[in-house]
């Protein structure tokens, strides 16, 4: 027994009365199945008993009060683009989708801030900010599909972290519905405070286990000046990592520094019907974006960076001459995961690792050693300047999807263990969800786990909000 209540027709009627019949799905298996998994894949799916799609904060609050009354588990869901199972309803119950809360409420040029609902697509906010002369720099690679609320929940990173930082750096304020149904407002249109514990920062990255975000105030940056993109091809990974370190030290205004290897490049360019320079010879690529206020400054920057890369072992450095060439390079980078999924529909994307930049060569060797030992073919990509690697693991021939689901997570568990030994962590942006929970717990001391649990119970004493994620299983509940 899970210790949780079950949704009855009477409870479903109560939900409909509270937020409107059109916003509640119950006993419609075809629709419910659409909310049973995230991008981690259907092999991890768990069916919800009901899906609610509230339209505002008051309706979210009403759902949580009903859930508390009957001790119903509630799994918050954004776009479902997560990779660690954070949006999978492990204990059934209610999936609370914020898809209808999708308004950009304000772009405030004076305070350099925007107020949005959590269901806003990241790229829509980027476009709206750009129209007003600003940049929203919390920019994951899933920008065209992910929701801002999901980015906050996982502290999403992306290609611009090396310059602007991850989502946490850009969240100024939140409106949050607590598991009790109460509403709290944290932070605001200001950028510093020393005013008690930062519950705002605690919420960012909490994967929907402490509260449900209903409004977000985000920081906006000035639009960057002129930019240029360089593609550096390497035959040696150590030389590539050394180049990154030297480019960072050089003082060049680097916005992005992305890495992908030969296998992932081949798969993705085949998928896109394109080619990259030196593709038959290069073992890996760096994609570097630089900024300059003036054309002369930009030219000096890319000449300096290009020379650095060549002196440190690059085979060739190609400068994108125009917007079309730049878009073509970034199209490859942004489609690496999709290309791997086309190559293998069961390609596991759930694991991302973070290590200090100096440890990247060793971690890359470990990934290669573990992959060979386990007979797993892997493509590598990542935000290399901040040490964030994304191994993309391909299912071995002859293994069923169900067997692969378990095997892939054991594979990532071994990689996570090694990344922690190197001074890193098991995820930089994909999150923990429930797929990475065993790995997380294996790296946390009993004292740390007790603190985490105490925080969870302070917010959610009934343990109804996204149970089975981030901490040990709820009291009195067995994992299905």
Residues of the chain with CATH 3.30.70.2740: 344-439
Nearest-angstrom CA–CA distance, 477 and 469: 13
- Rounded Cα distance between 205 and 429, Å, is 9
- C-alpha to C-alpha distance for 260 and 287, rounded to whole angstroms: 8
State how far the alpha carbon of 424 is from the alpha carbons of 138, 351, 420, 421, 465, in Å.
22, 14, 5, 7, 29
Give pLDDT tens digits for 213-267.
999 999 999 998 899 999 999 998 889 989 998 998 898 999 999 999 999 999 9
Fold classified for 104-222: 3.30.465
DSSP 300-328: HHHHHHHHHHHHTTEEEEEE--SHHHHHH
Would you say 247 and 367 are in contact if contact means Cβ atoms under 8 Å apart? no
What is 226-337's CATH topology?
A: Alpha-Beta Plaits (3.30.70)
Tokens read off for 288: 């570097």
Average model confidence (pLDDT) across the chain = 94
CATH 3.30.465.10-classified regions of the chain: 104-222
CATH 3.30.70.2190 boundaries in the chain: 226-337
Q: Which of 348, 359, 361 is nearest to 410 (CA)?
A: 348
Which residues are within 8 A (CB) of 103 and not within 5 positions of it... i.e. 6 or more apart? 116, 117, 120
Q: Are 247 and 288 in contact (CB under 8 A)?
A: yes
The model's pTM: 0.93
pLDDT in tens for each of the 480 residues of the chain?
358 999 999 999 999 999 999 999 999 999 999 999 998 888 889 999 999 999 999 999 999 999 999 999 999 999 999 989 999 999 999 999 999 999 999 999 999 999 999 999 999 999 999 999 999 998 787 778 899 999 999 999 878 888 899 999 999 999 999 999 999 999 999 999 999 999 999 999 999 999 999 999 999 999 988 999 999 999 988 899 899 989 988 989 999 999 999 999 999 999 999 999 999 999 999 999 999 888 999 999 999 999 999 999 999 999 998 899 999 999 999 999 999 999 999 998 888 999 999 999 899 999 999 999 999 999 999 999 999 999 999 999 999 999 999 999 999 999 999 999 999 999 999 899 999 999 999 999 999 999 999 999 999 999 999 999 998 767 666 555
- 344-439 has which fold? Alpha-Beta Plaits (3.30.70)
């Amino acid at each position: 027994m899970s210790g949780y209540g079950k949704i009855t027709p009477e409870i479903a009627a109560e939900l409909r009365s509270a937020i409107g019949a059109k916003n509640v799905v119950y006993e419609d298996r075809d629709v419910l199945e659409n909310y049973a998994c995230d991008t981690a894949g259907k092999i991890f799916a768990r069916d919800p008993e009901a899906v609610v799609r509230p339209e505002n904060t008051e309706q979210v609050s009403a759902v949580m009060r009903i859930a508390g009354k009957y001790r119903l588990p509630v799994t918050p869901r954004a776009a479902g683009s997560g990779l660690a199972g954070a949006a999978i309803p492990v204990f059934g119950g209610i999936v609370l989708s914020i898809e209808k809360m999708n308004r950009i409420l304000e772009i405030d040029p004076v305070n350099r801030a925007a107020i949005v609902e959590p269901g806003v697509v990241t790229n829509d906010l980027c476009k709206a900010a750009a129209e007003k002369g600003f940049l929203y720099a919390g920019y994951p690679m899933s920008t065209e599909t992910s929701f801002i609320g999901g980015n906050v929940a996982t502290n999403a990173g992306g290609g611009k972290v090396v310059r602007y930082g991850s989502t946490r750096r850009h969240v100024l304020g939140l409106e949050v519905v607590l598991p009790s149904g109460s509403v709290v407002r944290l932070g605001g249109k200001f950028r510093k405070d020393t005013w008690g514990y930062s519950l705002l920062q605690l919420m960012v990255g909490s994967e929907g286990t402490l509260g449900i975000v209903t409004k977000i105030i985000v920081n906006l940056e000035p639009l960057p000046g002129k930019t240029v993109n360089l593609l550096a091809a390497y035959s040696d990974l150590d030389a590539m990592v050394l180049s990154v370190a030297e480019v960072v030290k050089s003082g060049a205004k680097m916005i992005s520094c992305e890495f992908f290897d030969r296998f992932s490049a081949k798969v993705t360019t085949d998928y896109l019907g394109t080619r990259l320079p030196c593709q038959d010879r290069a073992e890996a690529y760096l994609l570097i974006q630089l900024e300059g206020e003036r054309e002369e400054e930009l030219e000096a920057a890319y000449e300096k960076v290009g020379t650095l890369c060549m002196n440190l072992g690059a085979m060739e450095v190609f400068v994108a001459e125009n917007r079309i060439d730049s878009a073509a390079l970034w199209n490859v980078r942004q489609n690496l995961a999709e290309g791997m999924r086309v190559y293998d529909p069961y390609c596991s994307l759930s694991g991302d690792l973070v290590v200090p930049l100096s440890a990247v060569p060793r971690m890359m060797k470990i990934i290669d050693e573990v992959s060979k030992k386990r007979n797993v073919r892997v493509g590598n990509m990542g935000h290399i300047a901040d040490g964030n690697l994304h191994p993309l693991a391909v299912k071995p021939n002859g293994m069923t999807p169900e067997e692969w689901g378990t095997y892939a997570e054991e594979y990532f568990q071994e990689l996570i263990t090694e990344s922690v030994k190197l001074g890193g962590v098991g995820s930089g942006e994909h999150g923990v969800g429930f797929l990475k929970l065993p790995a997380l717990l294996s790296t946390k001391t009993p004292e740390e786990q007790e603190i985490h649990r105490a925080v969870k119970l302070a917010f959610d004493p009934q343990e109804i909000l996204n149970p089975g994620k981030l901490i040990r299983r709820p009291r009195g509940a067995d994992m299905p």
